[in-house]
Amino acid sequence: MQQVIGKEAVLYTKDKGDRVRCTACARYCSIPEGKIGLCGIRGNIGGKLYLFVYGRIIAGQIDPIEKKPVIHYHPGSMIYSIATTGCNWLCQYCQNYDISQRRKIEGIEMSPEQVVEQALYYGCEGIAYTYNQPTIFIEYARDVGVIARSKGVFNIFVSNGYDTPETVSMMKEFLDCITVDFKGSGETKFVRRYIGIPDAQPVFDTLREIRDKTNIHVEITDLIVPKVGDDLDAARRLARFVHDELGPDVPLHFLRFHPDYKMMDLPYTPVETLEKHYDIAREEGLRYVYIGNIPGHRYESTYCPECNNIVVGRFGYNITAWNLDEHNRCIFCYYPIPIIGKLSKNAYRKRFQFIM
Q: Which amino acid is at 216?
A: I
Alpha-carbon span 187 to 344, nearest angstrom? 37
Q: Which DSSP string do the residues of 101-123 spell out, in sequence order?
A: T--S---EE--HHHHHHHHHHTT
Alpha-carbon span 115 to 80, nearest angstrom? 9
Q: Which residues are annotated as a binding site for [4Fe-4S] cluster?
A: 87, 91, 94
**Cβ-based neighbour number of residue 267 at 10 Å:** 10
Q: What separation in angstroms does the CA of 224 have from each of 102, 109, 138? A: 25, 36, 28
| 173 within 8 A of 219, measured Cβ to Cβ | no
Q: What separation in angstroms does the CA of 178 have from each of 135, 212, 246? A: 11, 15, 13
| 175 within 8 A of 155, measured Cβ to Cβ | yes
Q: Looking at 172-302, list the stretches that DSSP marks H as alpha helix, in order from N- to C-terminal side.
A: 188-194, 201-213, 232-241, 271-283
Dihedral sign for Cα 312, 70, 282, 183, please.
positive
Q: Which residues are annotated as a binding site?
A: 87, 91, 94
